[in-house]
Structure 1
Amino acid sequence: MSILPAAEARFAAETEVLVVGGGACGLTAALSAQDAGAVPLVLERDPAPSGSTALSSGFVPAAATRFQAAQGIADSAAGFAADIMAKAHGEADPALVDAVAGESGPALEWLADRHGLEWQVLDDFLYPGHSAHRMHAVPERSGAGLIGRLARSAGAAGVDLVCDAHVTGLFADGDGLVHGVRLQRPDGGVEDLACRALILACNGYGGDPALVRRHVPELADALYFGHRGNTGDALRWGEALGGEGADLSAAQGHGSVALPHGILITWALMMAGGIQVNGAGKRFSNEHQGYSEQAIDVLRQPGGQAWCIYDARLHELGMGFPDYRDAMAQGAVRSGADPAALAAATGLPEAALSAAIAETAANGPDRFGRDMAATLPLAPPFHAIRVTGALFHTQGGLRIDRQARVLRRGSDAPLPNLLAGGGAARGVSGRQISGYLSGNGLLTAVSLGRIAGRTAAALTAGERGRP
């Protein structure tokens, strides 16, 4: 990836707001820019929009929405911001936290009212760190469903989306003003495209093993469950233009990806009463601490593997999620009428497995700090899935302000026309893997996407209509 001299460009066309990346952040940014009066264009390197959004659960946390109110859920942006800061150990940028928490509810209502997205609030269980039920999902309850609806909404709104367009460089001058981009087609063809504002929505660096090992060594050997195109382009471009990265040691992990099937198993199973055991049949952590940091605990077990153990009640809960149904169809779920039968089905030691299941009947905190009285004891018949820990996406990125403008290195002054959102920007998880609050990835994708679109439209407003 490179920064190219503006004088070398051979621009074939120009657009007002150019968006690099067609995931949730990029599509939201484009819709926002267009609604604010600008003309956006989205460049997506793949044959169709997908990105890490399609690989995610698709759940977007948002506060004080009418969808929550309709289900009798009381919440506030201030309460959401407090939850984010608490999970991030106070390390996140408070101004950015307030901005994304405050934008979260209005953004989902805008997507519903203006662009037809349907939202439902998951109220069967609380995700770790959240003080209110605020996970919003489209009816499909999947990341693929979310990106599909956003793409259809963008098409219906007339947003131009060019796929198979891999941006390989930016044209800029010495002050960091971006003039356009160079993109490459699958056949090797190269095109230069001019713009007046550029939004980086091409995620972080989870797909670059060297950068992961440098910044997030705890997950360097984890299964990478994000998009292979997330190779740190936005970070490199921003730094080359005079910006800087922040909180680069933060990431979202997950302690429950089915082996060898590579299917995300909903953490709802753990939050509603399930447990994890290692190959010796023993529990090794507090399963309610958060699925991001659980990835590290799973990877520390022999072979970097564990088993999710749960019962028929939780199996029915899981069947409400498409990924779990896929895991079931592919034979990932093992079953047994009692601990002995489950031990036979999994190869786990019967005595240790029986003892681990019996721990769920405890009346209070256990040795790991999990309050077993908060959930029902596991009861036969039982089910199990073999899983590993995975890296989903990085949470560090370019330092930005409340308007999603990329800031100059060592300064609060923004670069002239460069913006970033989602995984391309600094997140709100602080500096640690344990700082990730469930849904932070899609929170910043949607909230910062809407903010960046508005800001880009405002930046280009004075030039609108210029020949």
Structure 2
Amino acid sequence: MADAAPTPDAFDFEVGTLIVGGGACGMVAALAAHEAGQEVLVIEADPVPQGSTALSAGLIPAAGTAFQRDAGIEDDPDRFAADIQAKAHSENDPALVDALARGSAPVVEWLAETHGLPFSVVTDFDYPGHSRRRMHGLPSRAGRELIDTLRATAEAAGIDVICDRRAETLFHEGTRITGVAMRRPDGGVETVGCAKLVLACNGFGGNRDMVARHMPQIEDALWFGHDGNRGEAVDWADALGARTRHLGAYQGHGNVAHPHGILITWATITEGGVQVNRNGDRFWNEAQGYSEAARSVLAQPGGEAWTLFDSRIAGIARQFEDFRNAEAQGAVVTADTPEALAEALGLPPAAVARALSDRPGAGEDAFGRDWTGVASLAPPYCGVRVTGALFHTQGGLETDGTGRVLHEDGSVFPNLFAAGGAACGVSGKGDSGYLSGNGLLAAVVLGRAAGAAEV
């Protein structure tokens, strides 16, 4: 268990800015700190930096970017902030929402212009809750490309990254952090002193005890996140007297190919697909989003469902590397008729035919899903068996909007910062507030702010 302790008599070595975690948040923080002239060290528990970023689509929502303008998309931070709060039922700190919404475009453009990341906007489908198309990603639309590119950029800048080092103890004098103890693969412990500490070490989804304690409604879900998410930041917060917030908030995903374990893009739904249970019946309003889908799918017999769509939608989905991998592994089934698709999926033919065709031309159906402007499905048809999963926790240490961690008494820790999965995001209290890309949004915006901050 992670803990805190008084400062030792001496450290094995010292550095100016220490960053715990080598995912997107940690790498962005490192680039910003290096740019600000700080001496930077990143420590990473894995043999190779990847984190939850590598498991995601690597898409960052940003409002008012040059990429949007070039695509003819009118957007602005106020609209983005309103979308975030609407999805989260206004349960978020307005200052944090404003900081993220306003910081999104500058960070994406900084990564593109200063560090050469080739972003583009996803322009061919909408994400639930976003009133504008504002998801920015790299060519493969895969998080692994994003983290690999960020890591290569950091290494090219001469930033030191030490892997196979898991931080266990934070040393402090009152509210000032003085260093960290980290464990090597051989069991030995090294200590490093620092003038500033940035926690970019993910959430606690891999800690089943914490999940059961804070979010029992999802404790039986498939864990699809990074196993390094063990909740050290929450333990450190308890030991230091730091505030935490919304520990029951999480990102679920109700469209994970089963048993292949591959995320299937929600474009399969937003462009006109549906989900059915093992009886071939639809069971909810799929337009609510993929995080909400986790609980809905898990509530079905066997905790499974089938996502049905067509070849037109599959063509859109193929821009995502995960979907191409799912096809290559045989997770996606294609057939010329509803009956043939049903037979291939092991579902009742009449029910599948009804699910594929029984929808209003416009307006809402019996589940409340609005079909206005949504194209009908046409052969060839596609289907994939899916289950619900817990992808990431969204609560964490409370910060002041610049990444500085707040003490229980409302003051700030002078040199302790948290961002990404270690910090509370903007997804409200549970799962219903998750807006696509919020995790990476908080990681890159707060990561840059934390890295560039002076102490």
Deviations 1:219-238 (A, max 9, x none): 10111111111111011112
Shift of residue 277 of structure 1?
Answer: 0.4
Q: Which residue of 2 aligns with 1:66?
A: 66
The answer as to whether partners of 1:273 and 1:360 remain within 8 angstroms in 2 is no
Q: Is the contact between residue 4 and residue 240 of structure 2 (CA under 8 Å) also seen in structure 1?
A: no
Q: State whether residues 271 and 288 of structure 1, in contact with CA within 8 Å, keep that contact through their aligned partners in structure 2.
A: yes
| Aligned match of 2:244 | 245
Q: Percent identity?
A: 54
Q: Does the 8 Å contact 1:206/1:393 carry over to 2? A: yes
Q: How many residues align?
A: 455
Matched residue of 2:432: which SS? Answer: helix
Unaligned runs of 5+ in 2: none
The match for 2:382 is 383
Query: 8 Å contact 2:404–2:417 — kept in the other structure?
Result: yes
Question: Residue 9 of structure 1: CA displacement?
Answer: 5.2
Task: Tell me the CA shift for residue 361 of structure 1.
Answer: 5.3
Aligned residue for 1:234, secondary structure, equals: helix
Q: How does 1:242-321 map to 2 (within 5 A)?
A: 242-321=241-320
Secondary structure of residue in 2 paired with 1:418: strand
Aligned mates of 2:362, 2:240 — CA distance in 1: 57
Judge conservation of contact 1:9–1:171 (CA < 8 Å) in 2.
no
Checking the alignment, whether the CA contact within 8 Å between 2:12 and 2:191 is kept in structure 1 is yes
Does the 8 Å CA contact 2:7/2:178 hold for their aligned counterparts? no
Q: Distance in 2 between matches of 1:192 and 1:36?
A: 25
Instruction: Tell me which moved more, 44-53 or 353-362.
Output: 353-362
**TM-score, normalisation: structure 2:** 0.98
Kept in 1, the 8 Å contact 2:203–2:233? The answer is: yes
Aligned with 2:286: secondary structure?
coil
1:25 maps to amino acid? C
3-state DSSP of counterpart to 2:435: coil
Residue 178 of structure 2 aligns with which residue?
A: 179
1:291-440 alignment runs, 5 A limit: 291-360=290-359, 362-409=361-408, 411-440=409-438
Task: For residue 336 of structure 1, report the CA deviation from its aligned partner.
Answer: 1.6
Partner of 1:465: none
Change (3 A) 1:223 1:2: closer
Deviations 1:159-199 (A, max 9, x none): 111111111111112x1211111111112221110101100
Q: Cα distance, 1:431 vs. partner?
A: 0.5
In structure 2, the residue matched to 1:232 is: 231
Letter in 2 for 1:389: G
For the aligned residue pairs, the C-alpha RMSD in angstroms reads: 1.1
Q: Tell me what 1:14 maps to.
A: 14
The TM-score with structure 1 as length reference comes to 0.96
Residue by residue over 1:377-411, the C-alpha shift from the partner in whole angstroms, topping out at 9 and shown as x without a partner, is 111111100000111100100111022111011x3
Partner of 2:49: 49
Pairwise CA distance, 1:113: 1.4
Higher alpha-carbon deviation: 360-369 or 314-323: 360-369
SS in 2 for 1:310: strand
Matches of 1:4 and 1:290, distance apart in 2 = 39
Q: After superposition, what is the alpha-carbon deviation per residue over 1:74-127, rounded to whole angstroms, capped at 9, x for unaligned?
A: 110111011001001000110000011111100011111111111000011110
Amino acid at match of 1:453: G
In 2, Cα distance between equivalents of 1:9 and 1:327: 54
Return the letter of the residue paired with 2:236: W
8 Å Cα contact 2:311-2:381 kept in structure 1: yes
Alignment partner, residue 452 of structure 2:
454
Distance 2:26 2:361 in 1: 47
Structure 2 CA distance, aligned partners of 1:362 and 1:69? 32
**How has the CA–CA distance of structure 1 residues 4 and 347 changed in structure 2, closer, same or farther, with 3 Å as cutoff?**
closer
Instruction: Assess if the C-alpha contact under 8 Å between 2:140 and 2:319 holds in 1.
Output: no
Give the 3-state SS of the residue equivalent to 1:383 in structure 2.
Answer: strand
Q: CA deviation at 1:332?
A: 0.5
Matched, 1:75 2:75: yes
Q: Give the Cα separation in 1 of the matches to 2:215 and 2:277.
A: 24
Q: CA deviation at 1:323?
A: 0.4
1:57–1:297 distance in 2 versus 1, CA, 3 Å:
same
Letter in structure 1 aligned against 2:176: L
Distance in 2, matches of 1:310 and 1:140, equals 22
The question of 1:168 aligning with 2:168 is answered yes
